[in-house]
Amino acid sequence: MGDKGRSIVVGAGIVGLAMARSMAMRGFQVTVVEKGQTAQGASVRNFGMVWPIAQAHGYLYDRAIRSREIWKSICQSAGIWYEQSGSLAVSYLGEETAVLEEFYEDEHPFRSLALLNPKEVLEKCPAVNPAGLLKGLYSGEEMIVDPREAIAKIPLYLKEQWEVNFVFGKTAVEVREQKVILADGQVLEADQIIICPGADLETLFPEQFHSNPLTNCKLQMMRLEAQPKGWRMGPALFAGLSLTHYNSFLQTSSAQALQTYFEAAYPDHVKWGIHVMVSQNGVGELTVGDSHEYGRSHDPFDKAFINGLILEYMSRFARFPTERIIATWHGYYPKMTDGSPDLILEPLPGVLIINGVGGAGMTYSFGLAEEICSAW
């Protein structure tokens, strides 16, 4: 190990971990520097959805599937819980059904999809509200991890399997060619430096972030207590609002009519970027979210009415044996405003910034890291 030279990765979120893995596997001696005692950014605050359904077939879908396979092999080696539960989108309106049917027609040659009638939907997922249910679209490809467990265990796995060093609790305050300077004055030297700072756009190369089409998104989330007696929901669940959020569904010609409907019928949900999804972790808890507020900076407080809007919409399509909230939080991610799926910059020779993966970092970081490293 280490015959390709030394590499420093700044940030132990999923993007930094994926880069550390891909580089160590290619013979770099890798050190990861993380300012928190553990990673505390978007990578521990998300649904844990590895979510190919959000990508229409093409290179981003391929990246998602490649990532999922890497996730599986890491989870198996590192003893991390995961479930390829699939996903289920449900419809209660003609406009929603039209999107699901068109998506199915366009995409079923490329992936594992099934259009379900109400009886079949209820057999797949006992949480679905049967009143007024029209159709379901089941995809067998989505996988769930518990992000808190996974992001804590992957460093241990990388250390043991690939001899990656981790320096937690130290902020990188400056990067020069082949040098990373830490807040305590320590200088680390490397041949290749990779910067994966997530939503911290101000500490390293802020001018790069300010001159690129990047915004910061704030999302509110909730966790419901573990369901009783081992109750499992089956696939991760979502409904009409999500069909106007993801590019994969937005590319159908039926999506525009649905968007017009939501703008009139659910103006507050549209205004606060709310679309509602539910996933279940290995101990039976449910993760429910989310909202999307865009801007360079945000107020630090959660808005109770947003959580109310999320729960109100959830009750339209799902019911759970227990819906007691045990945690609420918010997270941030930088997102490209020009539609690009990521931002890769080389501000100095041998220094790479990787950011802007938006709401898909858990879904495609491992694949993205492989693409970057195999291109070298």
Ligand X SMILES: Cc1cc2nc3c(=O)[nH]c(=O)nc-3n(C[C@H](O)[C@H](O)[C@H](O)COP(=O)(O)OP(=O)(O)OC[C@H]3O[C@@H](n4cnc5c(N)ncnc54)[C@H](O)[C@@H]3O)c2cc1C
CB of 161 to ligand X, least distance (A): 20
What is the Cα–Cα distance from 249 to 55, expressed in whole angstroms? 9
Exposure letters 42-54 (e unless 16+ CB within 10 A, then b): bbbbbbbbbbbbb
Please say whether the beta carbons of 331 and 221 come within 8 A. yes
Instruction: State how beta strands 87-91 and 236-238 pair.
Output: parallel
The DSSP bridge partners found for residue 187 are: 181
Nearer Cβ to ligand X, position 29 or 363?
363
Nearer Cβ to ligand X, position 21 or 35?
35
Nearer Cβ to ligand X, position 246 or 266?
246
CB of 2 to ligand X, least distance (A): 22
Tokens of 217: 């998104």
Nearer Cβ to ligand X, position 79 or 206?
206
Residue whose entry in the numeric block shows the structure tokens 């209660």: 92
The DSSP bridge partners found for residue 113 are: 139
Residues with Cβ < 8 Å from 242, sequence gap 6 or more? 89, 249, 275, 276, 277
- What share of residues in the chain are helix, strand, coil (percent, to 5)? 35, 30, 35
CB of 159 to ligand X, least distance (A): 17
Please say whether the beta carbons of 172 and 164 come within 8 A. no
Q: How many CB atoms lie within 10 A of CB 124?
A: 20
CB of 196 to ligand X, least distance (A): 5
Nearer Cβ to ligand X, position 68 or 135?
68
CB of 46 to ligand X, least distance (A): 3
Tokens of 300: 């630090």
Nearer Cβ to ligand X, position 235 or 358?
358
CB of 330 to ligand X, least distance (A): 7
Tokens of 115: 């259009």
Residues with Cβ < 8 Å from 260, sequence gap 6 or more? none
Nearer Cβ to ligand X, position 133 or 360?
360
Please say whether the beta carbons of 56 and 251 come within 8 A. yes
Nearer Cβ to ligand X, position 98 or 237?
237
CB of 331 to ligand X, least distance (A): 3
Entry field: residues in the chain: 376
CB of 8 to ligand X, least distance (A): 10
Residues in contact with ligand X by CB under 6 A are 10-16, 33-36, 39-43, 45-49, 51, 171-172, 196-200, 203-204, 219, 221, 289-290, 331, 333, 357-363
